[in-house]
Structure 1
Amino acid sequence: MPRHTPVVVYDAAWNLLIANDSYDALMGQTTTWQGRERNAVWRNFVGPGSRAVATPAETEALRAGLVADLRLTAARYPGDQRLRRLLDDLRAASPRFVDLWESADPSQHHEPERHKIIDHPAVGPVALDCDTLTVAVEDLRIMVYTAELGTEDAERLALATVVGNQTLEER
């Protein structure tokens, strides 16, 4: 795996646990995300979203998949108060979440989209593969972003991880 590979780890409820420097450089400083912003479901329904560029159909498919996955998590952890609070907050803040929750069929869960375009503010759009690996015993989701070696996207990804979230000042 190239040294510039962005990696992020989420728990069963899609709370961000850890992200490497390359992920922060690609997607924004996760260390500045507070409270609910650290939850991927919240960010996709209520919060600021992400740098990923998606069509309305892709956004809807992502949301439906997240809700189906969260329903499975809620069934596995019915006594988890933190998860209950997240679900209550999502219901209160997002009518679309409620609609999907009430109509979602967890057996129809789909993995997040494998191909993503990330609009990085310094290097522009970067087309990436996004693989989500599930660690069943620990109930973790590990997302790994890669670009095909030798492509312009690989060069942009490498540049994005070097430039990071720096802002250049004119003198």
Structure 2
Amino acid sequence: MDRVELGGFLRSRRARLRPADVGLAPGPRRQTPGLRRPEVALLAGISVDYYVRLEQGRGPRPSEQVLTALGRALRLTADEHAYLRRLAHPAPEPPSRPVPGNVLRLLDRLGDVPAMVIDAGYDMVAWNPMLAALIGDPAAWPPRRRNRLRRLFDTGDAITGNRLELARLCVADLRAGGRYPADPVVRSLVDELLEESPEFARLWAWREVVVQRTLTKRTLHPVAGPLELDCEILAVPGHEHRLLVYTAAPGSPSAEGLKRLLTA
């Protein structure tokens, strides 16, 4: 059980709520934003002392019933509730395995759209020629640069028009994955970015938790021109890997741009 992160997550979710959000009167002289601890305890039906100890990282492991009550009291989303449950009852991480052959075959069949496979630490582990045409050939890059998060926090990237938006969404997704801090690779990546990027540190401190399933990437390509691409993020069942596929609306300028990439 990660008591420190669980306490920090509860504090962050409490701070974002106002009394009116949960049907409580605001009352006089509120010195801090968000709900007070006794208010959360009341809404969850647990003792104030127990809730205080949870926030301070001193409490016992909460039961499923308590976690459900806290999720309801703090108005957690499904992704946030799942994250809270993993903090209290972490499951063993599945062993790291190679990309399944069927996923690699699917990647090869996606000849007219950019696609890649990433692992739990956001490293690019496989890609197709169209992805290389879109962003450059990752095989020619140092291994460290093949990490999508590192690339998003590279402030020299002037190509991705919505880099800051994508960075926020990917940080929320990294936390939602539930592999921090148990996975040493993910923990090392987070520690590195916390030290090197004030932008990452600010986003990480928000403790935003959202599993990303669809993203929009805007970029200006020297051959394809302005592109707005929908990125579908497909989980590989039983594996840490995910398949990312970039498509454009049929008949759109971006779709025509992808055709130019295909024939370039």
Which residue in the other structure is 2:169 paired with?
65
Alignment partner of 1:121 out of 222, 246, 253? 222
User: Which of structures 1 and 2 has the bigger CA Rg?
Assistant: 2
Structure 2 CA distance for partners of 1:149 and 1:135, relative to 1, 3 Å: same
Q: Which secondary structure state, in structure 2, belongs to the residue aligned with residue 142 of structure 1? A: strand
Structure 2 CA distance for partners of 1:123 and 1:136, relative to 1, 3 Å: same
Which residue in the other structure is 1:38 paired with?
146
In the alignment, the residues of structure 2 paired with residue 81 and residue 158 of structure 1 have an alpha-carbon distance, to the nearest angstrom, of 41
Bigger fraction of residues in strand: 1
The letter of the residue matching 2:185 is: R
Please give the root-mean-square deviation of Cα atoms over the aligned residues, in Å. Answer: 2.5
Alignment partner of 1:8 out of 94, 103, 116? 116
Identical aligned pairs, as a percentage? 33
With the length of structure 2 as denominator, give the TM-score of the two structures. Answer: 0.52
Higher relative contact order (CA 8 A, sep 6+): 1
Q: What is the Cα deviation at residue 82 of structure 1?
A: 2.4
The letter of the residue matching 2:194 is: R
In the alignment, the residues of structure 2 paired with residue 158 and residue 126 of structure 1 have an alpha-carbon distance, to the nearest angstrom, of 12
Structure 2 CA distance for partners of 1:110 and 1:100, relative to 1, 3 Å: same
In the alignment, the residues of structure 2 paired with residue 61 and residue 112 of structure 1 have an alpha-carbon distance, to the nearest angstrom, of 15
- Equivalent pair of 1:147/1:154 in contact (CA under 8 Å): yes
In the alignment, the residues of structure 2 paired with residue 88 and residue 116 of structure 1 have an alpha-carbon distance, to the nearest angstrom, of 26
Q: What is the Cα deviation at residue 111 of structure 1?
A: 2.2
In the alignment, the residues of structure 1 paired with residue 188 and residue 222 of structure 2 have an alpha-carbon distance, to the nearest angstrom, of 34
The C-alpha deviation readout for 1:56-83, integer Å capped at 9, x for no partner, is xxx443222222222234x436443322
Structure 2 residue runs of 5 or longer lacking an equivalent are 1-108
Larger deviation, residues 82-91 vs 18-27: 82-91
Aligned pair count?
156
- Equivalent pair of 2:176/2:211 in contact (CA under 8 Å): no
With the length of structure 1 as denominator, give the TM-score of the two structures. Answer: 0.76
Q: Which secondary structure state, in structure 2, belongs to the residue aligned with residue 82 of structure 1? A: helix
Structure 2 CA distance for partners of 1:46 and 1:126, relative to 1, 3 Å: closer
In the alignment, the residues of structure 1 paired with residue 168 and residue 117 of structure 2 have an alpha-carbon distance, to the nearest angstrom, of 20
Q: What is the Cα deviation at residue 142 of structure 1?
A: 1.3
Which residue in the other structure is 2:29 paired with?
none
Pairing 1:1-171 to 2, within 5 Å after superposition: 3-46=111-154, 48-49=156-157, 51-54=159-162, 59-73=163-177, 75-76=178-179, 78-106=181-209, 109=210, 111=212, 114-163=215-264
Q: Which secondary structure state, in structure 2, belongs to the residue aligned with residue 17 of structure 1? A: strand
- Equivalent pair of 1:5/1:22 in contact (CA under 8 Å): yes
In the alignment, the residues of structure 1 paired with residue 254 and residue 148 of structure 2 have an alpha-carbon distance, to the nearest angstrom, of 25
- Equivalent pair of 1:120/1:160 in contact (CA under 8 Å): no
Which residue in the other structure is 1:169 paired with?
none
